[in-house]
Amino acid sequence: MTSVNCAQRIAQSGVQFGTSGARGLNDGFTAQVCQAFMVAMIAQLQPRYGFSGVVVGMDNRPSSPKIAQNCISALHDLGMIVQFAGVLPTPALALYAQRNKMAAVMVTGSHIPFDRNGLKFYHPYGEIDKADEAAIVACRAVPSPMNIQPLPDPDHKISLPYLSRMLDVFPADLCAELTIGVYQHTSAGRDLYVAVLEALGAKVICLGRSSEFVPIDTEAVSERDKSLARQWACEHRLDLVFSTDGDGDRPMIADHSGHWLRGDILGLLCAKALNIEALSVPLNCTTSLELCGEFKQVRRTRIGSPYVIEQLTHLADIYPTVAGFEANGGFLLGSDVMMNDKVIERLPTRDALLPLLAIVYLARQRGVTLAQLVRQYAVRFTASNRLQGVALANSEALLVALQAQPQKLAKVLKCDGVPTISSTLDGVRFVLEDGCIVHLRQSGNAPELRCYAEASSQQQADELVEILLGALAQQVSMPVPGN
């Protein structure tokens, strides 16, 4: 009988690397598949990065404890020192690994549908890159028989460096006299955020805590969550509402009216608060970044944190302070920065908490509300949404057709002229005759067609997304294998 190597197990599982980690159906994360990922990670990353231990964390998905158990059991079989963090935000896990020169594995599906999950991998210096991903899925090591062990008790002290990173730098009265609603749902950091904000002087109202997993997508906020934010802001007279996606690396922040702010605007404001000189951002972030004139360089990348991090590395060789973020709001700090004569250490993975505190700090410095602060920098307005359950082949066929005949897009949108294709780096990005931008791409994490729009008003951007996705829904409605 021929032994099955790691590459074969991973390929047969249907679990694939997307824009942020390996993602797949829950059923794909068998003990053998989890073992294959762990064996491949150790075989491919340990010689390069020289770590002696691995710290494992997870989100609140029902499938996460079993996957964590499988991963930890496989690591023990490999003779690794393993620490189990339990449920915590992904950036908290990454920071602990960075400080302790360890690798890390986060069991999380982030925002993707309930029937799916994923794994995120870290070495002692940050997220793995695309070369590391390729090495893992190509690993031909043959796993030994596996010994499944009980899931150990979590070590909650692993979150402490993440807490101190914020509390040691920002003023102790940063949030004094502010009433902040924390939309907890099933976020991995829902209790940690309350502790941080209360320590900084805020009156915190806990909202929407759930025992059933809620797949929050910060890039496609549901109508229900939009309505809830407005209701909560009015009912509790909130100064702002804060939430995150499932694993706590993408922020959601709403102003005093309950209006959720776009993630790229949050990134812009955070970068300004931290005096960042150069930025690495994906194509779909607002062009307000260039138009506001606040940054010495803005480099555009494909969508996905590994691409943003790749350019961050290059920018760090040129500029003293660099950062990156995505349209979904996750902020990546690529260099140490000074605030209040103290250092915030670099953390080149998406973080949800730093943007919140940095933006509050900037608004307090200027004596303005969050909404007023946004108006100072939002030169252009963006919107996004998605069609779920769209097979890759259907998305690809649609994008090929529109790229060949962009006049079809103009017909759907009822706009003048023929749209110009400005980029095919990641999906297809069109510029309309009036300067508006429409961008379509297949998600790298789930069977979803993503649509992004930019315009001179929020209403126009929202309408572009609504009209286009409404028109395309029937064309890409074939079922997704496995759904």
Tokens, residue 54? 């691995």
Residue 163: count other Cβ atoms within 10 Å of its Cβ.
16
- Cβ contacts of 405 within 8 Å, gap of 6 or more: none
Nearest to 266 by CA among 325, 223, 216: 325
At 357 the pLDDT is 98
- For residues 50-64, average pLDDT: 95
Lowest mean pLDDT among 7-21, 404-418, 431-445, 467-481: 467-481
What pLDDT is recorded for position 206? 98
Segment 188-219, tens digit of pLDDT: 999 999 999 999 999 999 999 999 988 888 88
Summarised one tens digit per residue, pLDDT across range 298-350 is 999 998 888 999 999 999 999 999 999 998 888 999 999 999 899 999 999 99
Length of the chain measured in residues:
483
> Could you read off the pLDDT of 233-267 as tens digits, one per residue?
999 999 999 999 999 999 999 999 999 998 999 99
Query: Residue 424, Cβ neighbours under 10 Å: how many?
Result: 11
What DSSP designation does 426 have?
A: S
Q: Is the pLDDT of residue 476 over 50?
A: yes
For residue range 138-153, what is the model confidence (pLDDT) as tens digits? 999 999 999 999 999 9
The CA distance from 83 to 264, in Å, is 34
Active site residue 110: yes
What domains, with CATH codes, occur in the chain?
A: 6-157 (3.40.120.10), 168-377 (3.40.120.10), 381-476 (3.30.310.50)
Report the amino acid identity of residue 243: S
Q: What is the pLDDT of residue 35?
A: 98
Between 395 and 460, residue with greater pLDDT:
460
Residue 479's pLDDT band, with cuts at 50, 70 and 90, is very low
At 348, is the secondary structure helix, strand, or coil?
strand
Lowest mean pLDDT among 286-290, 418-422, 475-479: 475-479
CB 381 within 8 Å of CB 460 = yes
Nearest to 103 by CA among 117, 87, 119: 119
Share the mean pLDDT of the chain.
Answer: 93
pLDDT for 448 equals 87
pLDDT band at residue 2 using 50, 70 and 90 as cut-offs: low
Residue 482 pLDDT exceeds 60:
no
Task: Out of 20, 64, 73, 110, pick the active-site residue.
Answer: 110
CA–CA separation, 462 and 75 (whole Å): 47
Alpha carbon distance 157, 342 (integer Å)? 23
The confidence score (pLDDT) of residue 481 equals: 37
DSSP secondary structure code for residue 51 in this structure = -
What percent of the chain lies above the pLDDT cut of 70? 98
What was the pLDDT predicted at 151? 96
Q: Which residues of 355-378 are buried (b: 16+ CB within 10 A; e: fewer)?
A: bbbbbbbbbeeeeeebeebbeebb
Q: Which two tokens stand for residue 462?
A: 């929202």
pLDDT at 127: 92
What pLDDT, on the 0 to 100 scale, is given for residue 390? 86
Q: What is the pLDDT of residues 155-186, one digit of tens each?
A: 999 999 999 999 999 999 999 999 999 999 99
What is the DSSP code string of 274-290?
TT--EEEEETTS-THHH
Q: How many CB atoms lie within 10 A of CB 86?
A: 18
pLDDT of residue 483: 39
- The confidence score (pLDDT) of residue 480 equals 39
- Tell me: the pLDDT tens digits for 69-102? 999 999 999 999 999 999 999 999 999 999 999 9
| 391 φ/ψ angles, rounded to the nearest 5 degrees | -65, 150
Q: Can you point out the beta strands (E) in 402-447?
A: 420-423, 428-431, 437-442
